[in-house]
């Protein structure tokens, strides 16, 4: 199972083993990782699952989709070049070792 690490603004790290096919958002919510709200449950309609992906790992992710692009315009914390919606990041074997940083706020 690929491992994904979540790092909050205080520097606290949580690493999870995630089944392929589960989203980075779902794994966080199921495992009680604070900092991902996911109000819409993964329908790409709320932007409260915003994360910042470690810069050198952006290339191993699928490109930002049209819906994701639109929702990223409305994130509560500043959008950056490495911003993604974690509900749109479905874990694959290639994502082993992914590191995501949680934003200051989601709402
Ligand atoms: S959970 Fe709502 S956009 Fe990701």
Residue with tokens 């949680």: 102
Using CA positions, which residue lies closest to atom 3 of ligand 1?
Answer: 44
- Domain boundaries defined on the chain: 3-101
Inter-residue contact 92 to 2 (CB < 8 Å)? yes
Would you state the pLDDT for residue 9?
Answer: 97
Top CATH class of 3-101 equals alpha beta
53 CB-contact burial (10 Å; exposed 0-12 / middle 13-18 / buried 19+) = buried
Residues 6+ apart with CB under 8 A from 3: 15, 16, 17, 18, 96, 97, 98
**How far is residue 32 from each of residues 14, 65, 98, measured CA to CA in Å?**
10, 27, 18
Q: How far is the CA of 94 from the centre of ligand 1 (A)?
A: 22
For 45, other C-beta atoms within 10 Å of its C-beta total 14
Query: Looking at the DSSP assignment, which residues form a beta bridge with residue 51?
Result: 84
Would you state the pLDDT for residue 106?
Answer: 98
- Nearest atom in ligand 1 to the alpha carbon of residue 86 is 4
Q: How far is the CA of 100 from the centre of ligand 1 (A)?
A: 15
Give the predicted TM-score (pTM) of the model.
0.97
pLDDT tens-digit map of 48-91: 999 999 999 999 999 999 999 999 999 999 999 999 999 999 99
Token pair, residue 18, equals 């995630």
Across 3-9, average pLDDT: 98
Residues of the chain by 3-state class (helix, strand, coil), percent to 5: 25, 20, 55
Token pair, residue 64, equals 């930002």
- Nearest atom in ligand 1 to the alpha carbon of residue 44 is 3
């Amino acid at each position: 199972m690929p491992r994904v690490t979540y790092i909050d603004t205080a520097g606290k790290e949580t690493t999870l083993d995630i089944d392929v096919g589960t989203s980075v958002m779902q794994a966080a919510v199921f495992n009680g990782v604070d900092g991902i709200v996911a109000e819409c449950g993964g329908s790409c309609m709320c932007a409260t699952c915003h994360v910042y992906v470690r810069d050198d790992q952006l290339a191993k992710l699928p490109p930002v989709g049209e819906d994701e692009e639109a929702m990223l315009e409305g994130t509560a914390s500043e959008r950056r070049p490495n911003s993604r919606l974690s509900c749109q990041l479905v874990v694959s074997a290639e994502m082993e070792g992914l590191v995501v940083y949680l934003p200051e706020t989601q709402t």
